[in-house]
Amino acid sequence: MTESSKYRIDVSVKTAYLADQSAPEMQRYVFAYTITIANIGTVPARLLTRHWIITDANNKVQEVRGEGVVGQQPYLEPGMRFEYTSGAILETPVGTMHGSYQMVADDGAAFDAPIPQFTLSMPRTLH
């Protein structure tokens, strides 16, 4: 068994624009994102920290680091999933997010689970 197959976390994302919380006239665009984290490796692992890079259409970049997600540090046995919803506020109607989760496996190995880039977009702004 290769090391890479032991430590595998799949991250998928769904996004939504929250019109009722947004104020475009004040450059405030609010988005929700729902993340599903699945342990597709062979070793149990815990999510310790997160690192996000959020970029708006003006190329303004925010970096966010912190412990866990939504106040939790989920523990994932192989085959288990964890889902949570969080949000981001941008000054433009379109932006992107990507980053990584820092994980530790039961055998003590630390590894990063990449979060692929996804787009936050107000409806009817991208073709």
Number of domains in the chain: 1
pLDDT tens-place string over residues 58-75: 999 999 999 999 999 999
pTM above threshold 0.75 = yes
pLDDT tens-place string over residues 2-17: 567 899 999 999 999 9
75 strand-pairing partners: 46
CA distances from 7 to 65, 80, 120 (A): 22, 13, 29
Query: Would residue 127 count as lying in a domain?
Result: no
pLDDT tens-place string over residues 8-60: 999 999 999 999 999 999 999 999 999 999 999 999 999 999 999 999 999 99
Query: Would residue 17 count as lying in a domain?
Result: yes
Q: Cβ neighbours of residue 34 under 8 Å, at least 6 residues apart?
A: 13, 14, 15, 16, 83, 84, 85
Query: Would residue 77 count as lying in a domain?
Result: yes
Residues 22 and 121: their CA atoms lie apart, in Å, by: 12
Which amino acid is present at 66?
G
Query: Would residue 101 count as lying in a domain?
Result: yes
- Give the CATH number of the domain where residue 98 resides: 2.60.40.1470
Region 83-99: mean pLDDT is 97
Residues 122 and 101: their CA atoms lie apart, in Å, by: 26
Nearest CA-CA partner of 99 in 62, 60, 46:
62
Q: Are strands 81-90 and 94-105 parallel, antiparallel or unpaired?
A: unpaired
Higher model confidence: residue 86 or residue 124? 86
**What is the residue range of 65's domain?**
3-121
Residues 36 and 89: their CA atoms lie apart, in Å, by: 20
Query: Would residue 72 count as lying in a domain?
Result: yes
- Token digits for 5? 């197959």
